[in-house]
Amino acid sequence: MTQAIEANFDGLVGPTHNYSGLSFGNVASLNNVARPSNPKAAAKQGLTKMKALADMGLVQGVLPPHERPHIPTLRSLGFLGSDAQILADAAKQAPKLLAAVSSASCMWTANAATVSPSGDTKDGRVHFTPANLVNKFHRSIEHTTTSAILKATFNDSKHFAHHPALPSVDHFGDEGAANHTRFCRDYGEQGIEFFVYGTSAFNAAAPRPQKFPARHTLEASQAVARNHGLNPDKVVYAQQNPDAIDAGVFHNDVIAVGNGNVHFYHQDAFLDTLRMREDLLRAWGEQDKPFYLVEVPRDAVAISDCVQSYLFNSQLVQRADGNMTLVVPAEVKENSNVWNYLSHLLQGDTPIKDVKVFDLKQSMSNGGGPACLRLRVALTQEELAAVNPSSLMSDTLFKTLNQWVDKHYRDELHEADLADPQLLMESRRALDELTQILQLGSIYDFQK
Ligand SMILES: NCCC[C@H](NC(=O)CCC(=O)O)C(=O)O
């Protein structure tokens, strides 16, 4: 049998990366509002992580940034005239709206979509549903372009099925793979799809957070599971602990991560931990590999440590020897509770055997760690061969993209700069060139 693999598709940080405090409930986004950003450093930090994972022998892909500021959204909201006029009017009349349509938030591709590998789906294809991200206006405008990018990257209907986003209303709030994990013995076999939601929209009695929004609903996850043709016996749902959301855990991937036969999560991540454990063990059943439930006790690491360090927003990746590496942000090393816990974990009886640390400070300052920056797509060799080859990381692509960033990106950006018509022109020139580098065709409005 040919070996299936799990590829990571990272979002390349766009030229308008900035700190606008747009994400209520996301502590880092709120704390860093109005700080100057460095889009050039942000893009390079992301590229360095992508290249390092490719060098570890993993398949690494790149998804391009979206067109920002998004002039078509401003036009649809009544701004008229030339692009420069629209920017000037929006900056004056609705500066927060201009910031929202300028966000580089599509870099966090864990929120791009939910992906079900072919081993799990009825028709044996890989299924994609772009997330509607309806809870945040600046993110709710992503799914149309995300859909175009996914279709251009996974462009073969024999292997890949693309669904539209769910209805854009709170009832179907969908944050994509940030709340979705897949467990399996082998990436090509039937696995368990684990959906985590913030609340249930159609059940008024369901527990919900008091302070911050629950961005993802049970009903959204159920609809995705139906559309993807998943086997109900191999789907597990779990509700996030509402208190965790109120403590700043706006996506489940801030407090849990899974891969293969390992679920690594915090004691306070879920509303009903016992049930989550039982449901996963039942779905796993009898296999020649044990299932590891690695629960981090609150006495060792508090929720506040998780939110501050992003311990769980790590990538748990497969090594050639069958063990796993945890890819963490530098903040993990700076938090002594977390670092001590990790040192202890690596000695224990779990497949997690080493840690790799990356500086992702630019993304982290908006609440996005290593796991937020990647969308996982498990692929058989035949499916991998059908992926757009120009989207896959290599020595050449790494060099080309670094040069491209050097040529087009600024190293300092303030919120006021978003009104600069030059920034719009620079971004469009950059993205036009990028679609040629990645051979994606015309995916942006300005190219049509
Ligand atoms: N998965 C990580 C997502 C982080 C993202 N932050 C933001 O959109 C912050 C943007 C700003 O505040 O400028 C969010 O909360 O959805």
CATH number, domain at 119?
3.75.10.20
Q: For ligand 1, is residue 362 a contact (CB within 6 Å)?
A: no
Residue-wise pLDDT for 204-238, tens only, equals 999 999 999 999 999 999 999 999 999 999 999 99
Q: Is 22 annotated as a binding residue?
A: yes
Ligand 1, closest atom to CA 103?
13
CA gap 411, 81 in Å, rounded:
30
ipTM of the prediction greater than 0.90, yes or no: yes
Say what the pLDDT of residue 130 is. Answer: 99
Residue 2, pLDDT > 80, answer no
Residue 441 lies in a domain: yes
**Burial letters for 250-265: b for 16+ Cβ neighbours within 10 Å, e otherwise?**
bbbbbbbbbbbbbbbb
Count of alpha carbons within 13 angstroms of residue 447, beta-carbon side: 19
Ligand 1, closest atom to CA 372?
1
Ligand 1, closest atom to CA 138?
8
Q: For ligand 1, is residue 254 a contact (CB within 6 Å)?
A: no
Quote the tokens at residue 50. 């992508």
Residue-wise pLDDT for 121-170, tens only, equals 999 999 999 999 999 999 999 999 999 999 999 999 999 999 999 999 99
The residue type of 437 is I
- DSSP-assigned letter for residue 241: P
Separation of CA 331 from chain center: 19
Cis peptide before 167 (omega within 30 of 0): no
Residue 85 lies in a domain: no
Instruction: Provide the domain count of the chain.
Output: 1
The position carrying tokens 């602990």 is: 241
Site to probe by mutation for ligand 1, drawn from 31, 33, 108, 146 as the one with most ligand atoms within 8 Å of Cβ, is 108
Separation of CA 254 from chain center: 11
pLDDT (average), residues 158-186: 98
Say what the pLDDT of residue 219 is. Answer: 98
Where in the sequence numbering do the catalytic residues fall?
175, 251, 372
pLDDT band at 329; cut points 50, 70, 90: very high
* DSSP code string of 116-145: E-GGGBTTSSEEEEE---TTSHHHHTSHHH
Q: For ligand 1, is residue 387 a contact (CB within 6 Å)?
A: no
CA gap 239, 220 in Å, rounded:
13
Q: For ligand 1, is residue 178 a contact (CB within 6 Å)?
A: yes
Instruction: Return the SS3 of 392.
Output: strand
- Domain of 218, in residue numbers: 5-68+103-447
Residue 443 lies in a domain: yes
Residue 83 lies in a domain: no
Residue 1, pLDDT > 80, answer no
Cis peptide before 164 (omega within 30 of 0): no
Separation of CA 146 from chain center: 12
Residue 443, pLDDT > 70, answer yes
Residue 32 lies in a domain: yes
Residues in the chain, total: 448
Q: For ligand 1, is residue 15 a contact (CB within 6 Å)?
A: no
CB 212 within 8 A of CB 250: yes
The chain-wide mean pLDDT, for the chain, equals 97
The CA 139 to ligand 1 mean position distance, Å, reads 8
Residue-wise pLDDT for 359-377, tens only, equals 999 999 999 999 999 999 9
Quote the tokens at residue 224. 């995705």
